[in-house]
Structure 1
């Protein structure tokens, strides 16, 4: 259960460190101010929901209603799209990342510079890859199209797509909602294509999206803390280099000169 433990660590990292103290009521106040419990704060909800979805997907390995649900969705999908096949999902998984660097090239200002953004991508990609590979090994879930292939859960393509979409949202989408919609739209389409290609179950796709989102959010929010412990001029010694891998994966690496 080491991967589930990693998900728990993600939850603890993103939860508020302490509950805010209730503000003192003004003398002329009719009633004391209403404060929200940390259990219903947005930061808690946005972490707890993906963690629960990953846990549910993991539980679908056994014979239960979740297993029946994913079988039903697969049956309905292939009844409506019996001849669907595309390799576009091999490329769309990286589309939000390509869009981010294209916006940098066009001079668009974002939340952080290109070096911090690339560092966030590298760290988030490493965390995402570790979680996905360990979950695949622990769950040993058969693929819909190949019962002998036990690497179905979770979907790595979908995890990559939602990781890059989340970084696009954090970097450029705060003041430009259309970019966030486009990024998450492409990520959702990637997950849908994995199901239509009969490579993944619904639960694989949902869990992959959750892992990718959590990986990006964890690194994005912890990076400022890590950056404060780096030497002041380290950014001037870093070289950004694009990388390409079989299957259409596009990425980047930082080289210390």
Structure 2
């Protein structure tokens, strides 16, 4: 039940934001001022729930939630349980010596690519500072959702039954979170950028299975969590930005940072007023 509450909370936040993003509908004129001849005589427009369910906003919520729910509750179903066991055994047979730490880096490649493309002059959907704020919000939301689901579900890992942190895959959720942000930032500029980002995210999830760290259901659920986290942060930003004082917004600076050992990062600073 706690698992359901966690998913509903994440979906509700996105659903509220999506509803607010819809353009306002003009109020109908006062019917008391209309003559009988001016009133429409035809039947009212039929209510079409199928069109509502297949709207972009509904699909953005419904598809990832379905993936997460089926992955979690389907673990105890015979068909899904046998399928994931077969996938795991097949992966171990085909790649018995697979051992890499590349998935620790590929999960962050899409967000690095987003900054690189913007610095190279590719037109983004949002500026550098807004994108950074969105990334930080999505990162914390995704990390919180993933860690809490791990704590609530307590699913054992395939390589270590004593480790109950398998569901969902944190590497995969972060990879799909960054890939979704890359898609939102540059998807309209070139669909191939989105394809590359999601291909990198899918490769990250695949490596987690080949490395025997996660079941395929963990990876599918992680993809759903990461996508939802990015969409919530991306669509909530315009409303959060309105709460930021104008003077403070003009004082925000995004600066590069360098650490010993060659580490490079970014820091968001506030420029003091004169």
- TM-score, with length taken from structure 2: 0.81
Shift of 1:166: 0.7
Give the Cα–Cα distance (whole angstroms) in 1 for the partners of residues 268 and 114 of structure 2. 16
Aligned counterparts, 1:101-120, within 5 A:
101-120=115-134
Aligned counterparts, 1:1-257, within 5 A:
1=2, 2-16=5-19, 37-62=51-76, 64-240=78-254, 252-257=266-271
Q: Deviations over 1:135-158 (max 9, x none)?
A: 000010111111111101111111
Map of 2:36 onto structure 1: none
Tell me the number of residue pairs that the alignment of Structure 1 and Structure 2 aligns: 248
8 Å Cα contact 2:15/2:61 also seen in 1:
no
Give the Cα–Cα distance (whole angstroms) in 1 for the partners of residues 267 and 148 of structure 2. 23
Shift of 1:204: 0.6
**Segments of 4+ moved more than 4 angstroms:** 17-21, 32-36, 241-244, 249-253
Shift of 1:225: 1.2
More off after superposition, 220-229 vs 2-11:
2-11
Distance 1:33 1:141, change over 3 A: closer
Q: Secondary structure at the match of 2:245?
A: coil
Give the Cα–Cα distance (whole angstroms) in 1 for the partners of residues 13 and 257 of structure 2. 28
- Provide the alpha-carbon RMSD of the alignment: 3.0
- TM-score, with length taken from structure 1: 0.86
Is there any run of 5+ residues in structure 1 with no aligned partner, and where?
22-26
Give the Cα–Cα distance (whole angstroms) in 1 for the partners of residues 6 and 85 of structure 2. 25
8 Å Cα contact 1:94/1:250 also seen in 2:
no
Is there any run of 5+ residues in structure 2 with no aligned partner, and where?
26-39
8 Å Cα contact 1:172/1:179 also seen in 2:
yes
Give the Cα–Cα distance (whole angstroms) in 1 for the partners of residues 131 and 228 of structure 2. 16
